[in-house]
Amino acid sequence: MLAPMRRFALLLVALAAVCIQIHQAQNILIRCSCPQTVKMTKLNVTDFEVLERRSGCDKTELIVTVTVAENSTQRLCLDPAGRMAMAYFKCWENKNKNETRKHECLFRKKRIEK
């Protein structure tokens, strides 16, 4: 009689663990980081971040950090279909997505203008 009770208790513990895992998985909401985008910016871009396609967001996103008045910064989402974003994507791919070489993509435009 003791063996069926142990099996039942073990089954209840396993069922509780599964329910907890399902509940935690449902609370994770992964959405796109850029609900609104801009085509381009004339502000000084100081940094950028490329967010690849992932579950919950089916597009590649580009978030740039720009300098605004009084040394404050602002993060903007660039439209992936825009020319400015395409240039960043191309440079990023050419640098093999290496974080340490990201600055080369930022200052590429400035070198061309000189």
Q: What is the pLDDT of residues 14-66, one digit of tens each?
A: 888 777 777 665 545 568 888 889 988 888 888 999 998 888 888 899 999 99
Tell me the pLDDT band of 111, cut-offs 50, 70 and 90: very low
- What is the C-alpha to C-alpha distance for residues 114 and 106, in angstroms, rounded to an integer? 15
- pTM for the model stands at 0.64
> Sign (positive/negative) of CA torsion 76, 80, 84, 90?
positive
Contact, 61 vs 77, CB < 8 A?
A: yes
Residue reference for tokens 């208790």: 9
Mean pLDDT of the chain: 81
